[in-house]
Amino acid sequence: MTSLSLFLLSTVVCFGTTAPFCPRHAVALVPRFRSSRQHGPLLARHPQQQWSPRTELDKKARHHKKERGPPPSELDRKILDLANNRRIQDAIQAMQNSFSEDSAAKLQLNTFHALLKACSLSRQQDAGFMANSVIACMESFSNAGRTDRKPHLGSYSMGINAWAKSRHPDSGKWAEMILDDMKGTITPDVVSYSNIMDACMGKTGESPSC
């Protein structure tokens, strides 16, 4: 029995219980059957993708790859290396020197974000002041058109988080200053106010510093 005969027979079996078999329906399906033999099974051409954590991570990785932008410059790599080695003050000094000495120097926004994250992870008492210096450099580069993107809400929220992770007794007041400065152009969200509350409480349940 040929494959076409098996296909027609299976059509009769599938539809015989619910509706009377019509030969014209089978004839109409023949071109589709022949096309599927040429290009592979229909299910193989349109597989049903099942969700898994891995597929979700791959999807986010592809999205991040599209939004990643140009590769980092030599100055970006230098500052990132300093941040990875927890030499935050040296990284800030390098940014300030490059801005004043080299008018063509540019930095990616992700470089500032990495430095702000390093400030938060340091958990030093002066982590918030270092974050303020990073934000000031970020705004200077951005206003001069020397960044690939404009600072956004997440940029300032990372600065607030640096104050929340610091051990400064007035961390809440300094964090509120960042919030007040960005309110003119950027609307805070729940994360911003949550970081402000953490800064006021000092993350330790102490009396609020705000």
R_g of the chain, CA atoms, integer Å: 30
- Amino acid residing at 104: A
Could you give the CA distance from residue 2 to residue 7 in angstroms, rounded to a whole number?
Answer: 9
Segments making up each domain of the chain, as ranges: 1-44, 72-201
Distance CA 136, CA 177 (A): 13
Amino acid identity of residue 105, one-letter, is: A
Distance CA 164, CA 142 (A): 25
What are residue 201's DSSP bridge partners? none
- Predicted model pTM: 0.63
pLDDT per 10-residue tile (average), the chain, 210 residues: 50 45 51 50 46 50 54 89 90 93 90 93 90 94 92 93 90 92 86 89 56
DSSP letter for 149, please: S
For residue 163, what is the DSSP state? H
Total H helices, total E strands in the chain:
11, 0
